[in-house]
Amino acid sequence: MLLTYQKNLIYTFIKSLIKIFFVFFSLIVILNIFEEISYFKNENVDIFLPIFLTLLNAPSILFDILPFIFLISTLYFFTEILDKDELNIYKNFGITNFKILSLITLVTFLLGILFVLVFYNLSSNLKFIYLDIKNDYSKDDKYLAVITANGLWIKDELNQNVNLINAEKIEEHYLKNVTIAQFDLNFNFKKFIQSKIINIKNKKWIIDNPSITKENSITYSEDLLVFETNFNMQKIKNLFSDLSSLNLWQLQKLKNDYKSLGYSTLPINVHMQKLYSYPIYLTIMVCIAVILMLNIKQNSSKIFNLLLGVFISVLIYYVNFFFNILSQSEKIPVLTSVWGPQILLILISSISLIKINEK
């Protein structure tokens, strides 16, 4: 059973978290809605569509900045109990700073698990709907690409032709074992191209020793064929970069499909490791905020605490960004890019935890 002081601390902490959560939600909605209106400025759409899309996209953005929401919420939580002199009351009853820290971090860890299992899956599903609706209004609607267990599939419309492309493997900037079925805009068959390897570094693909079957069923081969498309390797990579629109089960399925295609699973591994470590990351952020509040002057203003939280959030963001860049360039392993910043923050926090009860 929870003791009275534990119930009070948990209630105050969650109340602070909800307040800051909705402040950030409101800011995201206000800022994002102007972006959506700008996107549809040349489209004849109802004003409710940008509002609806903003609400669909907001949970995904909130999930990304959740660590900083927890950090600022903790600063606000401590400001509240310090203003009421509750911290000294707790000390008089033998409740140490470490006990308060342990309780708040445990609550944060449990909330982190809940956010990953429930809130993330909900936000990813809403993000998928958001992207699906926006794609209907995109200028890129004449082409699309998907990865399945049967390889990479591309629909490409160019020069009054519709090309349906399938490749079994991707290696560096090459497609392996490729078939291209070309139709006119009415989907009347024009020709069928097969090749073991195609260079897709540029939008003008270099097809090596293609086997071509035209309308009259005559098949022949050429040494080299230049095939113009809307895609290059970089564009294909970018199409699959928004992993936030996939829930945990879809991420695992996509990872298996990537493996069967021979495509790098590095972005998915990084994304999934971030999700696995998310509860710990939130806990570390709260721990840092608690240590800071116990080490600064108790009469400091709320504005000072808020600015301090923003400064620390920006600093931690750039540390994570730096590790992420090193991972993408494959200079450090995936696990190091995700867990490295967290281990660094844990070590920094641990130094201050030694004498936390003396504060």
pLDDT tens-digit series, residues 216-267: 666 666 677 888 888 888 777 666 657 788 888 888 887 887 776 666 677 7
pLDDT confidence tier of residue 282, bands split at 50, 70 and 90? very high
| SS3 readout for the chain | CCCHHHHHHHHHHHHHHHHHHHHHHHHHHHHHHHHHHHHCCCCCCCCHHHHHHHHHHHHHHHHHCHHHHHHHHHHHHHHHHHHCCHHHHHHHCCCCHHHHHHHHHHHHHHHHHHHHHHHHHHHHHHHHHHHHHHHHCCCCCCEEEEEECCEEEEEEEECCEEEEEEEEEEECCEEEEEEEEEEECCCCEEEEEEEEEEECCCCEEEEECCEEEECCCCEEECCEEEEECCCCHHHHHHHCCCHHHCCHHHHHHHHHHHHHHCCCCHHHHHHHHHHHHHHHHHHHHHHHHHHHHHHCCCCCCHHHHHHHHHHHHHHHHHHHHHHHHHHHCCCCCHHHHHHHHHHHHHHHHHHHHCCHHHC
Residue in 81, 230, 96 with CA at minimum distance from that of residue 154 = 230
Q: 199 — phi, psi (to 5°)?
A: -85, 115
pLDDT > 90: what percent of the chain? 17
Residue predicted with more confidence, 315 or 74: 74
pLDDT at 21 over 90: yes
Burial zone of 187 (CB within 10 Å; 0-12 exposed, 13-18 middle, 19+ buried): exposed
Which residues does residue 212 pair with via DSSP β-bridges, in sequence order?
193, 220
Whole-angstrom distance, CA of residue 316 vs CA of residue 335: 18
pLDDT of residue 296: 66
Least trusted range by pLDDT, from 5-9, 118-122, 257-261, 301-305:
301-305
Q: Beta strand 219-221 with 189-199: parallel, antiparallel or unpaired?
A: unpaired
Whole-angstrom distance, CA of residue 185 vs CA of residue 17: 55
Whole-angstrom distance, CA of residue 322 vs CA of residue 341: 9
Residue in 116, 151, 135, 149 with CA at minimum distance from that of residue 247 = 116
pLDDT confidence tier of residue 305, bands split at 50, 70 and 90? low
pLDDT at 96 over 70: yes
Mean pLDDT of 329-349: 77
Residue in 30, 14, 201, 228 with CA at minimum distance from that of residue 107 = 14
Which of 1-15, 61-75, 77-91, 124-138 shows the highest mean pLDDT? 61-75
pLDDT at 18 over 70: yes
Amino acid occupying residue 330: E
What is the number of alpha carbons within 13 Å of residue 195 lying toward its C-beta?
25
Whole-angstrom distance, CA of residue 146 vs CA of residue 250: 13
pLDDT of residue 224: 78
pLDDT of residue 142: 55
pLDDT of residue 167: 86
Q: What is the pLDDT of the chain when averaged over all its residues? A: 81
Please check whether residue 70 is in contact with residue 17, taking contact to mean a CB–CB distance below 8 angstroms.
yes
pLDDT confidence tier of residue 149, bands split at 50, 70 and 90? low
What's the token pair of residue 77? 């939580």
∠ CA 183-186-188, nearest 5°, is 45
pLDDT in tens, 181-224: 888 888 788 888 888 888 988 888 888 888 888 766 666 666 77
Please check whether residue 359 is in contact with residue 97, taking contact to mean a CB–CB distance below 8 angstroms.
yes
pLDDT of residue 273: 85
Place of tokens 């940008």: 50
pLDDT of residue 139: 56
